[in-house]
Chains A and B, each alone.
Chain A
Amino acid sequence: MAEQAHPPKTNRSILHSIAFRNVAYQLLLAAALIFLGWYLYYNINENLDRQNIATGWSFLSEPAGFDISESIIPFDSSQTFARIFAAGVLNTLHIAFVGIFLATLLGVIMGIARVSRNWLVSKLASAYVEICRNVPVVLHVIFWSSIIRLLPHPRQALEPFNGAFISNRGLMLPFPVDNVLYPWVAFTLVLGIGGALIFTRWARYRREHTGQYIAVFWPSTSITIGLPLLVWALGGAPLSWDYPELKGFNYQGGISLSPEYIALLIGITVYTGAFIAEIVRSGIESIHRGQIEASRALGLRHSFIMRYITIPQALRVIVPPTASQYLSLTKNSSLGVLIGYPDLVNIGNTSLNQTGQAVEAIAIMMLVYLTISLTISILMNFYNKLVAIRER
């Protein structure tokens, strides 16, 4: 029997074409999303009307009516919600910056310690990493907060060194009294950093073009630190300290860090530091031993190998995951709401309870964090491009 040949269908239904399906799926999804959005919007208006909750952003220009315990910009309760939100954003940025700096420092030290040849050093560092990253950051923050609460009262404050006091009211430190010379010192510091950068660039240019190696570390360090020191010394080296003193129930003078700030800062720093340590370790271990052995065989010095062989390659492995750790540290600073540090989420939460405008308050929090996240990832991508391999 002759097999019956199926002639290829030339005019297959348009419904079976892949292109048509793709368009159809996407249109369906878009329609579903638009319908969902409309439905939610309809419900939310209905519900807000029924509960007599105001909508819109006009509450931002009304007086907040509550105070916050610490802020960078001066604030009192008669000022507007807009201003208190700004104060919250600044507090969040402040603790995130300090936290990122300290966590990087801790993480790099611990990461290097983990690959140390010294058994004690590496074991202690791994104990730190394993313990801290396997306990939730919420618990870290609460734990430090309750340790601070158990510290003695200001009258029996611990004094680790002269003029510094630790009590359940926080940490009090002596602070230099302001002087007309200090802005100039700061200015020369900026100049020094600029000079050091230019010098480093020039040294690199020379190395790449002539093969001459110029030591960079000590000259640039001395430019950066030496210049401001010189200005300070020439100006008569003015330095007087403002010491904290016990007056009434608390200390006055110097600089004081609140218990909430310290607990939150230690909590998020110690937690993120453990993750950064792991990233640094993996970066260092990613470098092939052969490269280091080859450099040694060429007779290169240890510092040179670190500076020009190990670190540039390790950074490529380290930078992208570290960027996401910076992001998560910033987001974890929102745990201030838990212990009373007036960060953005804490202030948003209080405003939400005062005005009932949940949608607007939460929208502000989310938008601010999205902006911060995008900014950090753009900055880190930019830096990542600087350290990435440049191939011809």
Chain B
Amino acid sequence: MQSKRTPPPVAERVPVVRWVRDNFFSSAWNTLLTILIVLILFKALPSFFEWGVLNAVWGAQDHTSCRSEGAGACWAVIAEKHRPMLFGLFPYSEHWRLIVALIIFVSVICITLSRRFWRLKILAPLWIANLGICSLLMWGGLFGLEYVDTQQWGGLPLTMVLFTGTVVFGMPIAVLLALGRRSHMPGIKAICVTFIECMRGVPLITILFVAVNVFPLFLPQGLEFDVMLRVMVGMAIFFACYQAEVIRGGLQAITRGQYEAAEALGLGYWQMMIRIILPQALRVCLPGIVNHIIAAFKNTSYVLIIGLFDILSATTAVMQDPLWRLFTIEAYLFVALIYFIFCFALSKYSQNVERWLDEGRR
């Protein structure tokens, strides 16, 4: 589709003109596409703008103005309902604890992601402190904080809890499964391959069903686990099987020489893996790892099906309110925005990581 270029001197001298011509009118087909899209946008955008901004009801405390003739989007539903959407059944007066916990949690994630702090000496104590403080804030019961049972946890904090649990439990299992799949012992290899392939072959829902319906049957009488914990373990194992395949890719990228050098130094299997192989392998496949971490964040929304109140199910429950139920679209758009911000930021981050790794290799 190369245009025949005998460019007029004006176009060469004015970069804007050239840019416009190259990007919108480089060929007959492109010109046609441009005109078609502009026409569609001219028809669609103004009505969206009217619905979402001009005629939208922003802050009314009652639903009546949202129902009035010609009213657009009812963003008031978010002003009215954001607390139960974000924090679920958690006692209203204690919501500040969740806000503090979320701020700490997100800052720790940001610190973890920056390369400067990639040292176990910094990250391990940081995460232990983070988990300690956040659980204290969520459970309470100490230092005069009111005790809140996990039954009442919900909304965004529950999403974060499930997400953290999935990744923190899942990563070590993933590493073990990946190593097992690369093992020279046929028995161990076969077990790992079967396990990984079976878990990857079934939908997450069925694993959650197992966690909720079947797992209690496996335990001896009288022994019970919190349903949130069971679900978290199920999600962690599911996550681990996908992540194991990514890590396997990383392990395959490490040359034989590295293994041989480690053996020549007299390192045992675990020392070789922990000190030499894994740090390199994990670095190579970091973008893939981040992708599955994003997927794990999105997968927390599956708990809607089994009745845990993460942010999506809390919103669904809140929107049963007959006064506001006409405005579910606005509420779901708000939830979608929250997921989008988190996942988009992480995926941009993983693209940056890819760039650093390329720089290192060049």
A residues at B contact (CB < 8 Å): 22, 25-26, 29-30, 33, 40, 43-44, 46-48, 50, 116-121, 124, 130-131, 133-139, 142-143, 146-147, 149-150, 296, 302, 327, 331-332, 334-335, 337-338, 345, 349, 352, 358-359, 362, 365-366, 369-370, 373-374
Q: Which one of B48-56, B125-133, B227-235, B300-308 contacts A?
A: B300-308
Q: How far is the CA of A374 from the CA of B83 in the complex (A)?
A: 45
Interface string of B278-311 (1 = CB under 8 A from A): 0000000000000000100011111011000000
B37, B209, B216, B340: residue with the most chain A Cβ atoms closer than 10 Å: B209
A310: min CB distance to chain B, Å: 12
Residues of A near B336 (CB, < 8 A) are: 135, 139, 143
When A139-B339, A345-B203 are in contact, do A370 and B198 touch as well, CB less than 8 Å? Answer: yes
Is B33 an interface residue, CB under 8 A from the partner? yes
Nearest to A369 among chain B residues (CB) is B202
B203 close to A146 (CB less than 8 A): no
Tell me whether B253 is interfacial, beta carbon within 8 Å. no
Stretch at the interface among B9-17, B95-103, B116-124, B182-190: B182-190
Chain B 192-206 near chain A by CB (<8 Å), digits 1 or 0? 000000101111111
- CB neighbours of B299 from chain A (8 A): 136
Report yes or no: A358 in contact with B198, Cβ–Cβ below 8 A. Answer: no
CA distance A356 to B61 in the complex (A): 46
The reply to whether B184 and A22 form a contact with Cβ atoms under 8 Å apart is yes
Q: Is there an interface contact between A118 and B214, defined as CB atoms closer than 8 Å?
A: no
Tell me if B164 is interfacial: C-beta within 8 Å of chain A: no
User: Given A134-B339, A143-B332, is A358 in contact with B217 using a C-beta cutoff of 8 Å?
Assistant: yes
Say whether B185 contacts A46, CB under 8 Å.
no
- In the complex, whether B2 has a CB less than 8 A from a CB of chain A is yes
Contact residues in B for A33 (Cβ distance below 8 Å)? 191
Could you list 10 A-B pairs, sorted by A, with CB under 8 Å? A26-B188, A46-B221, A50-B221, A118-B24, A118-B30, A135-B339, A138-B302, A139-B335, A362-B206, A374-B201
Find out whether the CB atom of A134 lies under 8 angstroms from the CB atom of B198: no
Interface size class of B (residues with CB under 8 A): 35 or more
CA distance A236 to B298 in the complex (A): 55
Q: Which residues of the partner chain A approach B258 to less than 8 Å between Cβ atoms?
A: none
Residues B329 and A146 in contact, CB atoms below 8 Å apart: yes
Instruction: Tell whether B42 is near chain A: CB-to-CB under 8 Å.
Output: no
Question: What's the Cα separation between A127 and B344 when bound, in Å?
Answer: 11
Residues of A within 8 A of B47 (CB): none
Whole-angstrom CA separation of A335 from B304 in the bound complex: 11
Docked pose: A338 CA to B203 CA in angstroms: 14
CB distance from B47 to the nearest CB of A (A): 15
**A162–B206 alpha-carbon span in the complex (Å):** 43
The chain B residue sitting closest to A137, CB to CB, is B298
Contact A369 B201 (CB under 8 A): yes
**B326, CB-defined interface residue at 8 Å:** yes
B34 adjacent to chain A (CB < 8 Å): yes
A359 in contact with B217 (CB, 8 Å): yes
* A349, B209: Cβ atoms closer than 8 Å: yes
Nearest-neighbour CB distance to chain A for B7, whole angstroms, equals 16
A86 to B320 Cα, complex, angstroms: 34
Task: State whether B185 touches A142 (Cβ < 8 A).
Answer: no
Give A121 to B305 CA distance when docked, in angstroms. Answer: 37
CB closest residue in chain B, given A140: B336
Contacts of B339 in A (CB 8 A): 134-136, 139
Q: Closest CB of chain B to A218's CB: distance in Å?
A: 19
Q: 19 extra interchain contacts, Cβ-Cβ under 8 A, other than A25-B188, A345-B206?
A: A26-B185, A30-B187, A43-B217, A44-B218, A116-B30, A117-B23, A119-B23, A119-B24, A130-B347, A134-B343, A135-B298, A136-B298, A136-B300, A142-B312, A142-B316, A147-B329, A149-B328, A358-B209, A369-B202
B152 within 8 A of A: no
Chain B residues within an 8 Å CB radius of A296: 2
* Cβ 8 A contact of B340, one of A131, A138, A331, A334: A131
Inter-subunit contact B312/A138 (CB<8 Å): yes
The residue that B213 contacts in the complex, of A48, A337, A362, A370, with Cβ under 8 A, is: A362
- Does B160 lie at the interface of the complex (its beta carbon under 8 Å from any beta carbon of A)? no
